[in-house]
């Protein structure tokens, strides 16, 4: 059973940094693509970043490229997103997600591609 638990959200001033964590239950964890999405009030959930099972390949939304870094620790079943130079428009609930299918390597960027979601963690960036 796939379980995902995010942590690390909070309130930060514009220009600041946060690191979000996601603990995952799947094994072997390295077999699973992992992604981060976010959803702001009144907006659709949008893709933020994705990482291949090995960690060798990463992709980012244009809005966060150069500011956010996704990474993973396969030994500890963790995926992270380091968020730097935060802006008020980054405020949202952040979710990690998995499609639950091992050894499927495509890094997809729409919500319909992912079946399993964490509960989310709130990030608020003040101006």
Within 8 A by CB and 6+ apart from 49, the residues are: 35, 36, 58, 59, 60, 61, 64, 68, 69, 70, 81
The mean predicted confidence, pLDDT, of the chain is 97
State residue 105's pLDDT score: 85
Q: How far is CA 66 from CA 31, 59, 82, 120, in A?
A: 26, 11, 11, 23
Res. 79 pLDDT band, cuts 50 70 90 = very high
State residue 46's pLDDT score: 98
d(CA 100, CA 55): 17
pLDDT digits (tens, 9 = 90+) for 57-66: 999 999 999 9
Res. 111 pLDDT band, cuts 50 70 90 = very high
d(CA 5, CA 40): 19
């Amino acid at each position: 059973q796939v379980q995902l638990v995010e942590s690390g959200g909070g309130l930060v001033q514009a220009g600041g940094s946060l690191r979000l964590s996601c603990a995952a239950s799947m094994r072997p964890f390295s077999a699973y693509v992992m992604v981060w999405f976010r959803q702001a009030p009144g907006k659709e959930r949008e893709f933020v970043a994705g990482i291949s099972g090995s960690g060798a390949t990463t992709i980012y939304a244009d809005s966060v490229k150069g500011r956010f870094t996704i990474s993973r620790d396969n030994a500890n079943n963790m995926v992270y997103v380091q968020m730097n130079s935060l802006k008020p428009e980054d405020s949202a609930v952040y979710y990690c997600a998995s499609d639950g299918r091992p050894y499927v390597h495509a890094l997809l960027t729409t919500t319909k591609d992912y079946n399993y979601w964490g509960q989310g963690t709130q990030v608020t960036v003040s101006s």
